[in-house]
């Protein structure tokens, strides 16, 4: 695949403890990655993942805190139950499970998110564009203003 894949990053606002990492995500994220910041991974309704998929995302990454390190005690564990099942369920009907990846970050991690995003992008590039589930809006060649 020649084009770069379109990715969506759902990021819990507490999971990047290092200010440098958070600043990189906020300001220097590559253009093909759409950032959706959430107060906690527990806030991510599976519908948001579906919206990302139906808006043409080739891959979705969810980044949150490790168990017992959640800012809200158990939000991340509740999210894991639902989102893991949802990705398994999407796999059941034709959206590969590999396209949804969960990244559980330790508070002491530094520079992990950059490496993980690069690895994820490489994995999605190898899989090719997602084509199974219908997308909501027809893509306009050259962007919306073309």
| Residue 17: partners with Cβ closer than 8 Å, 6 or more residues away | 105, 107, 108, 109
Residue 37 is inside which H or E element, if any? Answer: strand 33-38
Say whether residue 128 binds other proteins (CB under 8 A).
Answer: no
- Residue 77 within binding range of other proteins, rule CB under 8 A: yes
Residue 100 pairs with which residues in a beta bridge?
60
Cα-only R_g, the chain: 15
Strand order in the sheet with 33-38: 33-38, 7-12, 59-65, 100-105
Cα gap 35→37, rounded to integer Å = 6
Q: Residue 101: beta bridge partners?
A: 61
Find the binder of other proteins among 4, 22, 54, 125 (CB under 8 A).
54
User: Rule CB under 8 A: is residue 132 a binding residue for other proteins?
Assistant: yes
Shortest Å distance, C-beta 38 to other proteins: 15
- Are 139 and 56 a contacting pair, CB within 8 Å? yes
Q: How far is the CB of 20 from other proteins (least distance, A)?
A: 22
> Interaction with other proteins in 80-119: which residues (CB under 8 A)?
80-82, 84-86, 88-94, 96, 102-104
Closest to 99 measured CA to CA, from 57, 134, 63, 137: 57
Q: Does 127 bind other proteins (CB under 8 A)?
A: no
Min dist. Cβ of residue 88 to other proteins (A): 7
Nearer to other proteins, 22 or 116 (CB): 116
In the bound state with other proteins, the residue whose beta carbon lies nearer, of 36 and 96, is 96
Interface residue list for other proteins (CB under 8 A): 46-47, 50-51, 54, 66-68, 74, 77-78, 80-82, 84-86, 88-94, 96, 102-104, 132-136
């Amino acid at each position: 695949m020649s084009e770069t894949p379109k990715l969506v990053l759902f990021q819990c606002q507490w999971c990047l403890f290092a200010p440098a990492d958070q600043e990189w995500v906020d300001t220097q994220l590559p253009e093909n990655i759409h950032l959706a910041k959430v107060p906690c991974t527990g806030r991510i309704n599976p519908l948001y993942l579906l919206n990302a998929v139906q808006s043409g995302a080739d891959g979705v990454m969810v980044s949150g805190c490790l168990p017992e390190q959640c800012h809200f005690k158990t939000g991340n564990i509740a999210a894991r139950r639902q989102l893991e099942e949802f990705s398994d369920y999407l796999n059941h009907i034709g959206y590969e499970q590999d396209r949804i990846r969960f990244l559980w970050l330790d508070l002491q991690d530094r520079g992990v998110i950059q490496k993980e995003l690069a690895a994820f992008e490489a994995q999605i590039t190898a899989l090719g564009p997602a084509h199974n589930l219908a997308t909501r809006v027809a893509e306009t060649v050259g962007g919306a203003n073309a």
